[in-house]
């Protein structure tokens, strides 16, 4: 079980958190302008990387804040956590 460093609360057990899929997918500002394919790309297409992955997490049983995490899915090492809207601190 991970030990996750919530950017608002500090280190907490993984059981307090909920994973929320791939990070940095911005909801299109003008969905109606998009073709079916473009909308489907936003709606359905997600990466599933073996290696370093950018993810959304929610401290659901804590401060309830969403934040981002960089995690290596091959060994579950968390490389960084950072607030929504911030740039990833690692590549």
DSSP 8-state secondary structure symbol assigned to residue 38: H
Whether the Cβ atoms of residue 57 and residue 11 lie closer than 8 Å to each other: no
- Binders of Zn ion among residues 8 to 67 (CB under 5 A) are 8-9, 59, 62-63
Distance, in Å, from the CA atom of 28 to the CA atom of 73, rounded to the nearest integer, reads 28
Q: According to the binding rule CB under 8 A, does residue 62 interact with other proteins?
A: no
Contacts with other proteins, 26-45, as mask; x by CB under 8 A: xx--xxx-x-x--xx--x--
Distance, in Å, from the CA atom of 25 to the CA atom of 6, rounded to the nearest integer, reads 21
Q: Which is nearer to other proteins, 32 or 48 (CB)?
A: 32
Whether the Cβ atoms of residue 20 and residue 58 lie closer than 8 Å to each other: yes
Q: According to the binding rule CB under 8 A, does residue 86 interact with other proteins?
A: no
Residue ranges that bind other proteins, judged by CB under 8 A? 1-3, 13, 20, 26-27, 30-32, 34, 36, 39-40, 43, 56, 58, 60, 64-66, 75-76, 84-85
């Amino acid at each position: 079980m991970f030990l996750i460093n919530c950017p608002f609360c500090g280190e907490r057990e993984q059981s307090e958190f909920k994973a929320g899929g791939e990070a940095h997918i911005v909801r299109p500002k003008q969905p109606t302008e998009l073709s079916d394919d473009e909308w489907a790309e936003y709606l359905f297409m997600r990466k599933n990387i073996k290696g370093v992955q950018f993810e959304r997490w929610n401290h659901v049983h804590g401060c309830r804040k969403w934040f981002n995490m960089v995690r290596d899915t091959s060994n579950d090492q968390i490389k960084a956590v950072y607030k929504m809207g911030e740039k990833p601190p690692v590549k």
